[in-house]
């Protein structure tokens, strides 16, 4: 055991690599700031927050310049009890792996090279088929040539082997472009940009910033553009989100509007600052063969090469679709910024974000920003309904894949919805669901407008605008409203159905109502769930991310709501 017993300290370091932080300790804030550099926040309920030391979190730290001694000093310096020796040894072992393989610019290769001071280590990784396929000729005992387009995939392959490479090949600067900010950053926004930029060194200018919905991630993106001072490609989740970015560029920077373009299904403008959508970039040519080259299958990916970009900003980076992942691999020489409210991916591909976009540079706890008044306080409630005898038998005898839809669309949910809408008659209410037939019926029942993926772009913008301006107090929406939709005065959300057990979606849906309210009021998030079904099971999983952030769900029966 390392260290001494000090009951005034806030950390308890356990041999399973978890670190518990006692929030009430006077030293908690300092310990949290130090711990966040190298540990992953897993849970942050009221009194004790749980962090975990993982290989990825430690490699993140190493890539940002934190060394094993600094980690050990933090753990032992803030620990209430002696730190298990095995934890400190494990930290040193993992962090020692980062950077022993390096990707560098190489004159002999004419491009890049994978190099190391350890020939045996190089021989070990080259025996892996995935790594070997990404290497060119052997230049000498310690170097292999690397094609420019394989820079990202090689980092992915090495990461999977447990040998994360230090990417020291640097960046193409891109065309210079002054982006004067005309807004003032909040303290945490400035800290996030500084952590990403890292003085513009080889270790900086790439990575992911994680902040809750409503915390101003778009403003942080604009500040990163101002810091980099280069032509920028921004990739957003939808045309509406792209136009919100363009609106913020016009409102909060001094850029000439003629320098800003939209590249979407409706417009194909390539300007020094271009805002594109994932949808247009991943559009597939229906006439292309399945085995065609990436640029033939997805012709709009050529946008990545259409300008001397110096920075690519990925909004909602956790959603990066596979074709854009692969295209990202081809532009590793460009500075990259990923913005997201949560890096949670149900497919477990968080390490791909690390290897292709960069390490997580900043993570702001949701409840901490709530306490500072930057996002609205929120209460979360799950309301359980009964299926009823007839539907219970239908559910019991249905195929497994059909059961969730039966439960999610239970008719008993409608009475609860009616009661909640009546309760919040003076509020701005979003009713959110997964299934279009359910949403159409709900919109007709409530005499409320509906926005789905089938709604035209013009009508979407009109309805969101009317809701934003107060002309519509109630709106029924599908999952198209999950991401990057700015509805600042929305303060109530009622969720009828969702994408199975997606924690990411639950976080985004709560995020629709977290922007600070002009009256300082509270946001209210309701999930209506069919009892003793997969709907309830999925709801428990969906809620896990938010409960780990410190949000508590109150459980009510339908008869407590429907009077």
Tell me the per-residue pLDDT of 318-340, one tens digit each, with 9 for 90 and over: 777 666 766 766 677 789 999 98
Q: What angle do CA 196, 376, 450 make, to 5 degrees?
A: 100
User: What pLDDT, on a 0 to 100 scale, did the predictor assign at position 200?
Assistant: 63
105-123: per-residue pLDDT in tens?
887 667 899 999 999 999 9
CB contact at 8 A, 489 and 468: yes
pTM of the model: 0.83
471-512: per-residue pLDDT in tens?
999 999 988 777 667 777 889 999 998 876 677 777 888 888
Instruction: Report the distance separating Cα 331 and Cα 326, nearest Å.
Output: 9
Nearest one of 21, 17, 11, 16 to 49, comparing CA atoms: 21
User: What pLDDT, on a 0 to 100 scale, did the predictor assign at position 364?
Assistant: 82
Interval 141-153 mean pLDDT: 87
CB contact at 8 A, 84 and 91: no
Q: Which residues pair with 305 in a beta bridge?
A: none
370-401: per-residue pLDDT in tens?
888 898 888 999 999 999 888 999 999 999 88
User: What pLDDT, on a 0 to 100 scale, did the predictor assign at position 272?
Assistant: 96
Helix H or strand E encompassing 464: helix 457-468
| pLDDT class of 345 with cuts at 50, 70, 90 | low
Q: Tell the burial category of 341 from Cβ atoms under 10 Å away from its Cβ (0-12, 13-18, 19+).
A: buried
61-72: per-residue pLDDT in tens?
898 889 999 999
445-463: per-residue pLDDT in tens?
999 999 998 889 889 889 9
Residues of the chain with CATH 3.40.50.300: 187-364, 373-560
Tokens for 143? 């170097």
Instruction: Report the distance separating Cα 69 and Cα 423, nearest Å.
Output: 56
For the chain, give the mean pLDDT.
88
User: What pLDDT, on a 0 to 100 scale, did the predictor assign at position 201?
Assistant: 63
The answer for 199, left when phi > 0, alpha when psi is -120 to 50, beta otherwise, is: left
Instruction: Concatenate the DSSP letters of all residues of 175-235 into one string.
Output: SB----B-SPPPHHHHHHHHHHHGGG-TTSSEEEEE--TTS-HHHHHHHHHHHH-B-EEEE
CB contact at 8 A, 312 and 337: yes
240-275: per-residue pLDDT in tens?
899 999 999 999 999 999 999 999 888 899 999 999
Side-by-side strand order, sheet with 206-210? 260-263, 273-277, 232-236, 311-315, 335-340, 206-210, 360-363
User: What pLDDT, on a 0 to 100 scale, did the predictor assign at position 346?
Assistant: 57
User: What pLDDT, on a 0 to 100 scale, did the predictor assign at position 484?
Assistant: 62
154-204: per-residue pLDDT in tens?
998 999 999 999 988 888 888 999 999 999 999 999 999 998 998 666 667
Angstrom CA distances, 383 to 266, 386, 477, 496, 558, stand at 41, 10, 20, 10, 6
| pLDDT class of 347 with cuts at 50, 70, 90 | low
Instruction: Report the distance separating Cα 544 and Cα 172, nearest Å.
Output: 41
| pLDDT class of 293 with cuts at 50, 70, 90 | confident
DSSP code, position 135: -
User: What pLDDT, on a 0 to 100 scale, did the predictor assign at position 178?
Assistant: 96
Sign of CA dihedral 186, 187, 192, 193: positive
Instruction: Report the distance separating Cα 203 and Cα 215, nearest Å.
Output: 26
Instruction: Report the distance separating Cα 200 and Cα 220, nearest Å.
Output: 16
Instruction: Report the distance separating Cα 387 and Cα 201, nearest Å.
Output: 59
Nearest one of 263, 185, 176 to 228, comparing CA atoms: 176
Sequence-distant (6+) residues with CB within 8 A of 465 are none
- 291 versus 243: the higher-pLDDT residue is 243
Mention the CATH class of domain 373-560: alpha beta
Is the pLDDT assigned to residue 3 strictly greater than 80? no
Instruction: Report the distance separating Cα 512 and Cα 504, nearest Å.
Output: 13
Tokens for 273? 């600052």
User: What pLDDT, on a 0 to 100 scale, did the predictor assign at position 321?
Assistant: 64
User: What pLDDT, on a 0 to 100 scale, did the predictor assign at position 176?
Assistant: 95
Instruction: Report the distance separating Cα 544 and Cα 537, nearest Å.
Output: 11
Mention the CATH class of domain 187-364: alpha beta
401-445: per-residue pLDDT in tens?
899 999 999 999 999 999 999 999 989 999 999 899 999 999 999
432: Cα within 13 Å, side-chain hemisphere: 25
Q: Are strands 492-495 and 311-315 parallel, antiparallel or unpaired?
A: unpaired
Within 10 Å of residue 201's Cβ, how many Cβ atoms? 10
């Amino acid at each position: 055991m390392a260290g001494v017993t000090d009951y005034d300290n806030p950390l308890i370091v356990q041999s399973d690599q978890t670190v518990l932080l006692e929030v009430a300790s006077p030293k908690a804030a300092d310990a949290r700031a130090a711990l966040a550099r190298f540990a992953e926040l897993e849970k942050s309920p009221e009194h004790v927050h749980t962090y975990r030391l993982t290989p990825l979190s430690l490699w993140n730290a190493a890539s940002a310049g934190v060394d094993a001694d600094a980690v050990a000093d933090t753990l032992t310096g803030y620990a209430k009890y002696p730190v298990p020796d095995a934890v400190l040894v494990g930290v040193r072992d993992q962090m020692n792996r980062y950077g022993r393989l390096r990707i560098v610019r190489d004159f002999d290769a004419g491009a890049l090279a994978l190099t190391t001071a350890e020939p045996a280590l190089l021989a070990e990784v080259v025996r892996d088929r995935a790594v070997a396929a990404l290497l060119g000729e052997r230049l000498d005992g310690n170097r292999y040539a690397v094609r420019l387009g394989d820079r990202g995939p090689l980092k992915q392959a090495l990461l999977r082997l447990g040998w994360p490479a230090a990417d020291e090949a640097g960046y193409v600067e891109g065309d210079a472009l002054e982006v004067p900010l005309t807004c003032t950053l909040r303290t945490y926004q400035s800290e996030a940009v500084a952590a990403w930029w890292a003085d513009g060194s080889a270790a900086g200018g790439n990575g992911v910033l994680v902040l809750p919905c409503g915390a101003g991630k778009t403003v942080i993106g604009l500040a990163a553009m101002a810091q980099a001072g280069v032509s920028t490609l921004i990739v957003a989740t939808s045309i509406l989100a792209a136009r919100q970015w363009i609106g913020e560029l016009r409102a909060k920077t001094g850029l000439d509007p003629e320098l800003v373009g939209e590249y979407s299904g409706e417009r194909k403008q390539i300007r020094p600052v271009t805002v594109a959508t994932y949808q247009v970039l991943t559009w597939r040519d229906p006439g292309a063969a399945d085995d065609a080259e990436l640029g033939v299958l997805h012709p709009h990916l050529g946008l990545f090469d259409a300008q001397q970009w110096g920075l690519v900003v990925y909004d909602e980076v956790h959603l990066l679709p596979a074709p854009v992942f692969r295209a990202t691999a081809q532009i590793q020489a460009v500075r990259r910024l990923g913005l997201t409210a949560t890096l949670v991916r149900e497919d477990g591909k968080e390490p791909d974000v690390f290897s292709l976009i960069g390490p997580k540079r900043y993570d702001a706890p949701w409840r901490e920003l709530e306490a500072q008044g930057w996002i609205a306080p929120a209460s979360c409630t799950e309301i359980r309904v009964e299926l009823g005898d007839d539907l219970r038998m239908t559910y019991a005898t249905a195929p497994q894949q059909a059961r969730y839809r039966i439960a999610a669309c239970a008719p008993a949910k409608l009475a609860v919805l009616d009661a909640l809408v009546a309760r919040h008659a003076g509020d701005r209410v979003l009713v959110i669901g997964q299934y279009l037939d359910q949403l159409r019926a709900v919109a007709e029942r409530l005499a409320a407008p509906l926005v789905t993926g089938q709604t035209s772009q013009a009508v979407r913008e009109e309805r969101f605008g009317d809701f934003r301006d107060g002309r519509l107090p109630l709106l029924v929406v599908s999952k198209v409203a999950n991401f990057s939709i700015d509805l600042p005065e929305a303060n109530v959300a009622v969720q009828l159905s969702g994408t199975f057990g997606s924690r990411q979606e639950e976080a985004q849906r709560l995020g629709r109502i977290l922007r600070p309210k002009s009256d300082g009021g509270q946001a209210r998030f309701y999930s209506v769930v069919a009892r003793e079904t997969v709907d309830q099971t999925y709801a428990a999983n969906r809620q896990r991310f938010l409960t780990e952030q410190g949000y508590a769900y109150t459980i009510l029966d339908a008869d407590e709501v429907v009077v």
